[in-house]
Structure formats: structure tokens, C-alpha cells
Chain A
């Protein structure tokens, strides 16, 4: 997918963008999802999950659990969904999540990425969802950030 700059009118359109990106992802991809509270990061992740073959009913915000894993029809993990909202930027906390070793075999998307994560689990795709247009509209940019090294 070439880099994308677009606008979405509602959460369903943001989700559809995620689903479109899913078709481009391989197991090595790490998608950073940036944007304020309520921007639609989880909606985008739901689209990713659906595009990768998981039931969208599996998807929910991982803020409390920190990590959700979504399985496809065969039962294997097709997407990992991380959320660092509750964490301070402490390397130790990230290591406890098993990063980066426990992230193998399926693409990862990360809400509220920051700090040491950039080193432990660098992004291959950066998605920014901006609420600035106001109302339900969002400005979304999707940018390839290089290959995942590991």
C-alpha cells in the first residue's frame, strides 16, 4: 500500500481503512496507532482483525488487559493488539509483556506506542488518526516506516 492521506466520515470508514491495510500486512509487521482518546484507534484495529480473518466480535480495547490476541478460523493467532495507555515508559514493564519475543508469528498493532517500545518493537507502519476536522470526521495518515528488523 502506498502511503495514504485521507479523511474518514465515521468509525465504520476508519474500520474499513484498517481492513484494507490488513491485506498488505505480513507476520513481521508492527502497526503503530496514534491519536487522541476517541479518535478511532480501536475501530481501526477492529478493521485490521477482520481483514486478517478474526471475528470482529473478538476485538475490544486492550487498555486494561494491555494485550489482546485474536484468532482466525483455524484457531491460530492472526493479530496481536497492544495498548500502552496505562503504562509509564518503563522498560521493565514492556519486558514483562514478553516483548519482543512473544510477538512472533502474527502482525502486531499498538495503541499509545511510546518510549522504549520504539527500540523493542519498532514500527513498520505508522497510522495517525487526527480528530481535528471536528464532528465525526477524522484525518487518517498511513505511512510505511521501513522493514521490521528482528
Chain B
């Protein structure tokens, strides 16, 4: 089985070829992000036109790198939501066109479901890890914080989500206000490695109604106040020559994000017992998060799956893989029925 995956839900245009064993034969991502732009360095080129301009070359490159031709594809998987309708339509319409032209089935994939199963993919053309159902999934990125249970039959049960900021967004906004550029996650990750994360204890945000939901805006605001008090206003700073106190502050901020994620993982494990925890999304690349959750899993007998860093940010390999799994579970594969959905909560 050869699956062609297409992803255009937000900033990235991506195409990938994945086989029936979950081997990623190619995964091409064309970032539309123009870094260091005039407005604070955070400028996505959201134009559907940009996806449209990128997609043909990205598709060609994905096939070529996989050593495959379009005729080899047996299933098309394209992100159908959630996201901006204009952006989604570019990838989904291209996928539908290919499917119609070649008489292939097409699965419209939930972008978050793509992340959820990405922890099972392996780099280097290795087959995917065996899918261990049931498992728990933690999707943490610039736009999401979702903790879910995936049941034996594949049903996804949401357990916790963020009520305000996503963790990656908190990293980005704080890094920008600290004058450290964009994206914020990797730069804070590097700085935190030489800092003391226990020096400035921040409270763990809770939703206020006793639910497991995450809240990161209180932490963001507390951190902004700390920056303000030190006269840090967003003027560019050299990450290698920071005041040691600021290094500790950033390390403590990162520690608080990791602690909040671990807190919910622990509470879910206490309530219903986890066997496998699959971490995914851009924040799953964070060094401290990976180390902390791995160590926790080791102590509690929970298998913690960490995605290869190449599969943490938005990519089409995860869409191809999730599409294949969905098709095997009996998801609709009629290309005529696939519709873009701007709003598509996990598990619906």
C-alpha cells in the first residue's frame, strides 16, 4: 500500500509518501514562514495562493524522493480540518483531483489526529512502531494542548485541553517579548539547558472549575510581569549573552510548562491508568519535556513514545499515516464526500 499525504491546514505546505507498514518514504515540508519580518518576526504567509504555488513542487519532490510515481499511489490522505478553509481547500482539492483522476480512495484527515499518531512513526525509512491500543496521547503545539485517550476500536476520547493559550504559543509570545526572536520554543529550550529551572517557582494553571483542562495564560502573564520588572521590552537580546538571572527565569518558565503537562498526565494516570503515552506536536521537540516524561514513564511503568523531531511540526507524513489507519478502521474514502471543516474537535 502506498499512501500519498497532503497537508495545507496552516503555515506549512507538505506532501509525503508512506507505505502500508508506516515507513516514511518521503516527507517534504515547504515552510511558508518568513522569519524576522518587520512585525516582530512572526509572519505566516497564510495566503492560499502560497499553498497553491508551493504544492505542485512539494508533491513532485515527495514522489521523487520516495522513488515513486503518481501511478503507484493507492490511497490519498489530505488534511480536511481544522484550519482556515481557504488553506485547507488547496490541499484537499488537489487530493480530490488526484483521487478522481486515478480512481483512488481519499480520506479527509483531522490534523490533530495526524499529530496524535505521529509518535508511532520512525525516521530513516523504518516501519512504524506497532500501534498499541488503547493509548493516551498528548498533543502540544503552537495551537493546541490536548490530552486524549484512544480506545481499542480507535475512538478518541478528549480528556483535557487548553482554555486559553497553547504551550507553544506561550513560548513564542514570551520569547518575542524577551527579544529572543521566533520561533520561541527552540531558543528557550537551548537557554533553559544552562539555567536553574527551580529558581523562580511559577504556579500551575488550572481551569478553575475542577476540570483537567490546561491554562497557560496565567503563567504567560506572570512571566510578562517578571520581564517588565527587569526592563525587558522586546529589544533584541543575544541568547548567548543573557543576564544569568534571565536565563534562570526562562528555565523556570519552561519548567512550569513541563510541570503543568506532567501534572495532568499524572492525574489521568492515577484516574484510569496509562499503558502507553504518545507525545506529539511542536512542543514535543522540547528537551526538558521529553526527558521529564520519559523519566516519569520509566518510574511508573508507562511506555512513553516520543516522536522523531522531524515529525513534531506540521507535516504530511503524519497525515498519510493517520489517513491509512482511519481507512483501515473503516473511515469514509469517497473523494466526493470529503469536505473541508474549519472547526473539527478531536473525537467528533
Contacts and interface: CB of A to CB of B under 8 A. Distances in A.
Is chain B found bound to chain A in the same assembly? yes
Interface of A: 11-12, 37-38, 42-43, 46, 56-61, 63-71, 77, 85-89, 92-93, 96-98, 102
B163 A66 contact: no
A31 B217 CA distance: 21
B165 interface: yes
B127 interface: no
B235 to A, nearest CB: 16
Nearest to B209: A56
Give me the 8 closest cross-chain CB pairs, A-B, nearest first.
A64-B143, A38-B221, A64-B142, A69-B343, A88-B39, A38-B224, A61-B165, A42-B164
A88 B84 contact: no
Interface in B191-229: 208, 211, 213, 217-218, 220-221, 224-225
Contact of A64 (B45, B48, B169, B217): B169
Contact of B169 (A56, A61, A93, A96): A61
Interface in B15-37: 37
A118 B144 CA distance: 29
Nearest to A114: B39
Contacts of B220: 37-38
B10 A60 contact: no
B161 A57 contact: yes
B54 interface: no
Given A43-B164, A88-B39, A98 B86 contact: yes
B169 to A, nearest CB: 5
18 contacts: A11-B218, A37-B220, A38-B217, A43-B164, A56-B163, A60-B162, A60-B165, A63-B143, A63-B172, A64-B141, A64-B169, A66-B44, A85-B42, A93-B45, A96-B46, A96-B49, A96-B84, A97-B46
Interface of B: 10, 37-39, 42-49, 82-87, 141-144, 161-166, 168-169, 172-173, 177, 208, 211, 213, 217-218, 220-221, 224-225, 342-343, 345
Contacts of A68: 343
Contacts of A102: 85
B83 A65 contact: yes
A12 B164 CA distance: 13
Contacts of B208: 12
A46 B44 contact: no
A60 B164 contact: yes
A86 B143 CA distance: 12
A86 B169 CA distance: 11
A87 B44 contact: yes
Given A43-B164, A87-B44, A65 B224 contact: no
Nearest to B42: A86
Contact of A59 (B44, B83, B163): B163
A58 B285 CA distance: 26
Nearest to A56: B163
Given A86-B42, A86-B44, A87-B39, 7 more contacts: A12-B208, A38-B225, A59-B163, A61-B162, A63-B165, A88-B39, A97-B46
Contact of B84 (A38, A58, A65): A65
Contacts of B42: 85-86
Nearest to A15: B208
A43 B169 contact: no
Contacts of B217: 11, 38, 42-43, 61
Nearest to A97: B84
A86 B85 contact: no
Contact of A71 (B141, B169, B343): B343
Contacts of A12: 208
Given A42-B164, A67-B84, A88 B46 contact: no
A37 to B, nearest CB: 6
A88 B38 contact: yes
A100 B174 CA distance: 31
A61 B143 CA distance: 8
B166 A37 contact: no
